C-alpha cells in the first residue's frame, strides 16, 4: 500500500461569503477502507463531498487522490480518475430507462455502445435492479432510485465511491439490502467514503469513523471508540438539546 494511493485531504476549508462551512479538515481513505463520515445536520458533510468531487472549489487546502491533485478539476475529470459520487437527493435521468441511465456512466470505461450496454447490464444485475432494467427511471421507487444512483457511480469504474446518505428515506428491510450491497461493492475492491445518519448501519460497515461538527473534525477513529467519545456525544446531544429547548 503506497502512500500515494487512496484519498488524502489536508487542511480543507470552504467559505461561502462570511460562513465557514468546512474548516481545516483532514481526511484519508486508504485503498480498501470503508470510512464513515458522520455529524449533526448542517455539519458540512455534503459540502465536503461537493469539494472532493469538483462541484465547489476549496477556499484552502489540498485534495489528492492516488497522488494526483483534484483541486480545480471538473467533476467529469475527477470521475475519470476513478472517484465517483452519489447525490443525497437522488438525481436520475428521469426520461431514460434504468439501463440507459447506467450506460451513460458506463461510457467512462467503454468506448462503444454495445460494450457500454454489456457493462451497464452487469452493473444493473449486480445492484439488484435486473427486473427494472427497461423501466423509465421516473417510474422507480425511492429505494430503486437509490440503487440506481449507486449503479451509476459503480459503472464509472471507480476505485473510491462517495455515498451520500444512500439510506435516507428507506425502511429497515431496504436498509439491510443496501448494507449488503455496500459490502458486495467493497468485496469488489472499491474503497468507500460514506455519509450516513442511520447509525447502526454506519457503525456496522465502517472501518473508521470521522465526525464533522460545524465544519470541523472532532473525532477520527474506530467506530466503537468514536461512538463513546464525549465530544461526539455532546455534538449530537447538543443539537438534540438545542432542539428540545426551542
Partner 1 sequence: MAAVGARLAAGLALIGLAAVPPFLPKYGLEVLIGILFFAYLGTCWNILGGYGGQFSFGHAAFFGLGAYTSTLLLLRLGLTPWLGMLAGGAVAAGFGLFEGYLSFRYGLRGPYFSLVTLAFAEMLRVVAVNLKAVGSSLGLVVPSGSSVVAFEFAAKLPYYYVILAMTLLALAITRLIARSRMGYALAAIRENEDAAEASGVNALATKLTAMAVSSFLTALGGTFYAQYFAYIDPSLTFGPSISIQGLLPAIVGGAGTVLGPLLGAFVLTPISELTRAVLRGRAGADVMLYGVILILVISFLPNGLMGLRRSRRPAAERAT
Binding site for partner 1 (CB under 8 A): 53, 55, 74-77, 79-80, 84-87, 91-97, 100, 103-105, 107-108, 111-113, 116, 136, 152, 155-156
Are the C-beta atoms of residues 190 and 161 closer than 8 Å to each other?
yes
Residue closer to partner 1 by CB (options 29, 90) is 90
Distance CA 121, CA 98 (A): 10
> CB-wise, 91 or 141, nearer to partner 1?
91
| Nearest approach, Cβ of residue 91 and partner 1 (Å) | 4
Q: Least separation, in Å, of the C-beta of 199 and partner 1? A: 27
Buried-exposed string 197-215: b where 16+ CB fall within 10 A, e elsewhere: ebeebbbebbbbbbbbbeb
Taking the complex as a whole, how short is the minimal distance between the CB of residue 151 and partner 1, in angstroms? 10
Q: How far is the CB of 119 from partner 1 (least distance, A)?
A: 13
Helix ranges restricted to H, the chain = 45-53, 75-80, 98-106, 113-126, 142-155, 172-187, 199-205, 223-227, 230-245
Cell reading at 30: 486508504
Give the residue with the Cβ less far from partner 1, 47 or 156. 156
Q: Comparing C-alpha atoms, which of 52, 54, 46, 48 is closest to residue 6?
A: 52
Instruction: Give the cell for residue 192.
Output: 468507500
Residue 30 CA from chain centroid, whole number: 15
Closest to partner 1 by CB, 116 vs 202, is 116
Q: Identify which of residues 80 and 214 has a Cβ nearer to partner 1 in the complex.
A: 80
Closest distance between partner 1 and the C-beta of residue 129, in Å?
Answer: 16
Amino acid at each position: 500500500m503506497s502512500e500515494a494511493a487512496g484519498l488524502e485531504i489536508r487542511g480543507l476549508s470552504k467559505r461561502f461569503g462570511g460562513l465557514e462551512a468546512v474548516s481545516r479538515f483532514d481526511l484519508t481513505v486508504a485503498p480498501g477502507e470503508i470510512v464513515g463520515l458522520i455529524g449533526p445536520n448542517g455539519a458540512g458533510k455534503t459540502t465536503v463531498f461537493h469539494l472532493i468531487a469538483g462541484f465547489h472549489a476549496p477556499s484552502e487546502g489540498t485534495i489528492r487522490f492516488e497522488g494526483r491533485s483534484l483541486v480545480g478539476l471538473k467533476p467529469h475529470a475527477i470521475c475519470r480518475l476513478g472517484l465517483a459520487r452519489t447525490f443525497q437527493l437522488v438525481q436520475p435521468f428521469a426520461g431514460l430507462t434504468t439501463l440507459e441511465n447506467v450506460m451513460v456512466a458506463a461510457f467512462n470505461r467503454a468506448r462503444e455502445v454495445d460494450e457500454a450496454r454489456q457493462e451497464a447490464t452487469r452493473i444493473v444485475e449486480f445492484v439488484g435492479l435486473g427486473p427494472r432494467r427497461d423501466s423509465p427511471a421516473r417510474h422507480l421507487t425511492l429505494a430503486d432510485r437509490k440503487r440506481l444512483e449507486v449503479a451509476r457511480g459503480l459503472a464509472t469504474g471507480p476505485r473510491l465511491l462517495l455515498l451520500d446518505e444512500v439510506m435516507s428515506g428507506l425502511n429497515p428491510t431496504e436498509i439491510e439490502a443496501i448494507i449488503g450491497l455496500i459490502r458486495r461493492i467493497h468485496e469488489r475492491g472499491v474503497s468507500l467514503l460514506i455519509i450516513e445518519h442511520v447509525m447502526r448501519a454506519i457503525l456496522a460497515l465502517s472501518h473508521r469513523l470521522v465526525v464533522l461538527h460545524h465544519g470541523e473534525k472532532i473525532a477520527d477513529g474506530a467506530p466503537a471508540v468514536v461512538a463513546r467519545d464525549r465530544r461526539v456525544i455532546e455534538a449530537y446531544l447538543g443539537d438534540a438539546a438545542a432542539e428540545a429547548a426551542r
